[in-house]
A and B are shown apart, each in its own frame.
Chain A
């Protein structure tokens, strides 16, 4: 008895060296093979080292995967466990790749439920498996979150109502072909459908802000090797979290820490230098850096004072991305008086003296939380990743429904996709029950002979 494939992060998000992602259910092995090019199921229950790639073949991470054929697995089903680097980015990209490869995001506790249903877990054990731990939000962030959540419920009520409207129109169209009002004008359905799609899109547009508040803004230190990023990383954290040496290219992996600047949640990442390298392992690190830089809300572009050509790095590629950039002139303490070309917006920072650190933190917060930092009127928005996933699914389903609403389309198929959208949104807006749809039909139309 195998259920549909689900995937989720099995370890708490953030702040860890390693993360475990699980994939369970019917077809789990086929899905794993799409993400692991060198996938092999044999031998089972043995860790294999492999590259994990996304749908475009881009490397996500190099890590371990282990195949557990059901029923002798955690969930009792065919299951694959991936160990990858921890933190906020790599595990999320891996889960996204598995979703794209055909898995569904697991509901909270769904693995455990399956384990219990398949008799794989004793109940006390199951109950000890807690919900995922929310990232800690600080006082300011909590206030902003509260505001987002508060308005959100009203927006979701409106979304639900818009969904019911379209369901009712299509339900009427199909189940009541001979009524006083005649068939529904296609334009009327299209208009309600567009309204529904707009609502979904508007909510989705708020997702990044909400996610930043809950999980922390991704702030990436980037720049050429040996410019002192790791020293700055430690200075910003106020503790020795990263290994710091004077050898070029020491920091191969991205190192990540959850912290707060002036009360705002930050995920600070120290990356390997942005430079092509012939060292294979280091190349892998550089690949990571680029990926982090693309995902970052704020990039701290570190530049060596004195501007040696090799250490200025490639700012061109930073400028093309959307997030904010803070330019920093490093090691100000080593060259206090000789600063030939200071960029207009550049800050002078020294990891040893602490010079410029508070100013840097303030700049980062302004860039990362601009609108929320003032706690002005916030657009109510999404604050949870699972909401974003649900809305994205709904958006896809609604898009698929559209061609079926046109002249040559099939109303039944439009309704089919609309139901998919409603199911995707269940977690947000509650179950859309057929009786509720019929209620709306009977309220809006005079049906029956």
Chain B
């Protein structure tokens, strides 16, 4: 069987790559070391969060599985940043790990074009300078026209726990992938090491909950999926405690036994996801650090100790855990650990996430130096889709930075590169008022529709939703509300009353006044969920215009191409630093060159001159 797209790995990147390639009509194979762990959450049991929640909705809008799987497995939901502007509202859900895996598997198996196989990829079949398939360690050959590599932390993965010898592993208890990493390096693709960590897990039956602060989710409805309204499982609380002076003292005392501080680890780790050792060393003046106890799932009492990621020896981990309020007699079920793994600097990729060195091979997820399930999913979607489109000889999909948070991610990776594990933040986006979680479907539905990624029911749902939103916007502009009806709503929001009938649009510009409340007071039949989008569009109206203008200017620069043959080192009019950076990144347009760090506006201008000279 010749596959169009072969996806190596069944994590969050692999699942989306497989889902989107098969939805695009490609005959797709998902090859994984263990079919049982498709959709496994290796680290914290949560999906979404700041910027990440937006990516989940974007992937969902393209037909991906993450949003639906989260809806089907979530045991707590919160909208983060509710107190800030709607541009940065960020949905996040705690999930039952087992339910999540089951949901992903089920959603993938619903794709008729998708097949599954268990095996460890060991080398590539290469024909005519292109990847043509994969050979497994077990000796099976799978022929494929394109391959998407989504192997996460498995490539030469090594687990560190205290000063014990490192244990080769892709995740606790699972084998690493050694050979395939060598096979990639053999293609002349540079590889580097990163590290990350995970905290211990504990037995909830040994926790004194009376000493903890309970944290419940939001009551209101929310679905990540913009197509389906699935039933959520029973909802559970998280619990909040903290690590204080005693914990810090224990960690200080054993610091030299930490893999991180004892010198066993050389790779760089993420600063926004520090180990507790890091926190103690870098912020000695901090009195305490928060600890979140998050349920692993419905069917188990096991808890995930978020906030205490560590590579200290297991006995030290137990000792400091017992110094945490509420955990005095806790039993640890699994120790935390640090893991080091190979990644391939993503500046070696095209914006389609295809390798420059080996055509037909696409990279997505942690192999590109990112962290996070959502970042992996976003890349998986783009890589899987582009692999399918390449086979079908269709135009590639390269989203722009004003179209999707996912595009900010991919563009940053390919043009800026990474020097620590990359995580998305809203501040990485120039146009964060455009890139919201509430308008993801609106932004990406046209792409999904054009590429044929959605079935008829999904298309119907999407169009109803988008039309409903527009109706809400229209009613807001056309409907006037009487003072008698409006003033109680305004009073409740702490706003001054009106004296004469006023259009809803004018009133909902005021902070704290929602269009939904005004519409329902006027007896409108608009769905409040649809009203929310219109409300946000009205509140941000002037800013949206400015961001779109700025995006247009950016797009103009993106239309000026840079030849692939450009010899940056011979361009004497640009700075040495810019020459180095541009040579490494090989941008394809002036606009992209401008986003490479170290390239100044003056460099950019001289680059434009140099390009035109070459053309003459």
Contacts and interface: CB of A to CB of B under 8 A. Distances in A.
Contacts of A177: 50, 80-81, 84
A168 to B, nearest CB: 10
B273 A448 contact: yes
Nearest to B199: A449
Interface of B: 44, 50-51, 80-81, 84-85, 87-88, 270-274, 279, 282-283, 286, 288-290, 292, 306-307, 309, 425-428, 430, 432-433, 511-512, 543, 549, 553, 556, 559-560, 597, 600-601, 605, 608-609, 612-613, 616
22 contacts: A1-B559, A109-B605, A113-B609, A116-B612, A123-B612, A123-B613, A171-B427, A174-B50, A175-B51, A180-B286, A180-B290, A410-B84, A410-B87, A412-B88, A415-B427, A419-B430, A435-B597, A446-B279, A448-B272, A449-B44, A449-B273, A449-B306
Central interface residue in A3, A171, A447, A449, by most chain B CB within 10 Å: A449
Given A1-B556, A117-B560, A449-B273, 11 more contacts: A117-B608, A123-B613, A175-B427, A177-B50, A412-B88, A412-B432, A413-B543, A431-B601, A435-B597, A437-B427, A438-B425
A154 to B, nearest CB: 21
Given A180-B286, A180-B289, A442 B81 contact: no
B80 A3 contact: no
A389 interface: no
In the A-B complex, list the 4 residue pairs whose CB atoms are closest, starting with the nearest: A410-B85, A412-B85, A175-B425, A442-B271
A446 B601 contact: no
Contacts of B307: 449
A15 B289 CA distance: 67
Nearest to A444: B283
Contacts of B511: 408-410
A426 B601 contact: yes
A171 B272 CA distance: 13
Contacts of B433: 412, 416
Contacts of B81: 174, 177
A173 B286 CA distance: 18
B609 A123 contact: yes
A437 B50 CA distance: 17
Given A180-B289, A416-B433, A116 B271 contact: no
Contacts of A442: 271-272
Central interface residue in B290, B427, B608, B612, by most chain A CB within 10 Å: B427
Contacts of B286: 180, 446
Contacts of A117: 560, 608, 612
Contacts of B270: 448
A411 interface: yes
B503 to A, nearest CB: 21
Interface string A400-411: 000000001111
A411 B84 contact: yes
A444 B315 CA distance: 32
A110 B289 CA distance: 51
Contacts of A190: none
A430 to B, nearest CB: 8
Given A116-B612, A175-B425, A447 B553 contact: no
Interface of A: 1, 3-4, 107, 109-110, 113, 116-117, 122-123, 126-127, 171, 173-180, 408-413, 415-416, 419, 426-427, 430-431, 433-435, 437-438, 442, 446-449
Contacts of A430: 600
A180 B272 contact: no
A279 B403 CA distance: 62
Contact of A449 (B309, B549, B597, B612): B309
Contacts of A123: 609, 612-613, 616
Contacts of B428: 434
Nearest to B290: A180
Contacts of B616: 122-123
Nearest to B615: A123
Nearest to A182: B290
Central interface residue in A174, A427, A430, by most chain B CB within 10 Å: A174
Contacts of A446: 274, 279, 282-283, 286, 289
Contact of A448 (B271, B426, B556): B271
Contacts of B601: 107, 426-427, 431
A294 B584 CA distance: 56
A116 B608 contact: yes
Contacts of A449: 44, 273, 290, 292, 306-307, 309
Contacts of A411: 84-85, 88
A127 B609 contact: yes
Contacts of B279: 446
B613 A412 contact: no
Central interface residue in B80, B425, B549, B608, by most chain A CB within 10 Å: B425
Contacts of A413: 85, 543
A156 to B, nearest CB: 15
A180 B80 CA distance: 16
B512 A408 contact: yes
A233 B44 CA distance: 81
A448 B274 contact: yes
Nearest to A173: B84
B197 to A, nearest CB: 11
B223 to A, nearest CB: 22
Contacts of A113: 605, 608-609
Contacts of A415: 427
Nearest to B542: A413
B321 to A, nearest CB: 15
Nearest to A431: B600
A374 B556 CA distance: 51
Nearest to B304: A449
Contacts of B273: 448-449
Contacts of B600: 430-431
B84 A412 contact: yes
Contacts of A412: 84-85, 87-88, 432-433
A128 to B, nearest CB: 12
B272 A447 contact: yes
